[in-house]
Structure 1
Amino acid sequence: DVSTSMGGGIARFDGCAVEWTVLYDEFICVLEGRYKMKAGGEMFEGGPGDVFWIPAHTPLVYMGDKATVFYTVWPVDWRKRHGME
């Protein structure tokens, strides 16, 4: 079955800085490397096994050094809910 409420995937961050305001609740689990995130004026960093929960409407910057993460988002239809489809 395919979930009608949650989405997820794998992302890689290596020497980049991606600014974004999340329009969904997001859960991130670091699989490898060093994942970094700046939010609310603070820098957060984690390695394999570390997890982050990001509430909807949080402005942030995704970063990393050879970081691979597994992420989930709710709701899966956030683009539609925000008129982006």
Structure 2
Amino acid sequence: MTKAPAQTICFEDLSFRPRFEYGDMAQVNVVSGTEMGTKLGTGFARFTKAAIPWTVQYDEVVLVLSGQLTARTKDSVLTAGPQDSIWLPKGTELTYESEDALVFYAIEPANWAEAAT
């Protein structure tokens, strides 16, 4: 696997795209992943009036940049505001909830969808 060279990714150049069937509630832009030759997946996500059920298929850290994001699990309610992070280990069943948030995420492995098939 050949790694991409070091580079700057400018936020203003990113193009957010709908995420899965929840495109009206979540849009993402991938910053790094397998296309750059790395196991580390990173990107930005926007949540708007979101209530998205999910089972995390990777280890994930979510850093809230603006707004507030809640990850509601069967055991707890994890809420983060600007400059707060949420750690989510693989296998966590949750619902992402937010009225309006911009987050940066890091996941490992980046190719989780390929590994699940």
TM-score by length of 2: 0.67
Which position in structure 2 is the counterpart of 1:52? 86
After TM superposition, the structure 1 stretch with the greater mean CA deviation from structure 2, 29-38 or 1-10, is 1-10
The runs of 5 or more residues in structure 1 that have no matched partner are: none
Q: 2:113 aligns with which of 65, 79, 82?
A: 79
Aligned residues: 83
Alignment partners' CA distance in 2, 1:74 and 1:3: 13
Q: What's the Cα RMSD here?
A: 1.1
1:19 maps to 2:53:
yes
Relative contact order higher in (CA < 8 Å, ≥ 6 apart)? 1
**Cα offset for 1:65?**
2.1
Alignment partners' CA distance in 2, 1:55 and 1:13: 20
Alignment partners' CA distance in 1, 2:60 and 2:74: 16
User: Larger C-alpha radius of gyration, 1 or 2?
Assistant: 2
Question: Residue deviations 1:18-61, cap 9 Å, x none?
Answer: 00101100110000001111013321111100001100011010
Alignment partners' CA distance in 2, 1:73 and 1:50: 17
The structure with the largest helix share of the pair is: 2
Alignment partners' CA distance in 1, 2:72 and 2:37: 30
Which position in structure 1 is the counterpart of 2:77? 43
The runs of 5 or more residues in structure 2 that have no matched partner are: 5-35
Alignment partners' CA distance in 1, 2:37 and 2:100: 30
**Cα offset for 1:3?**
4.2
Q: 1:5 aligns with which of 9, 33, 39?
A: 39
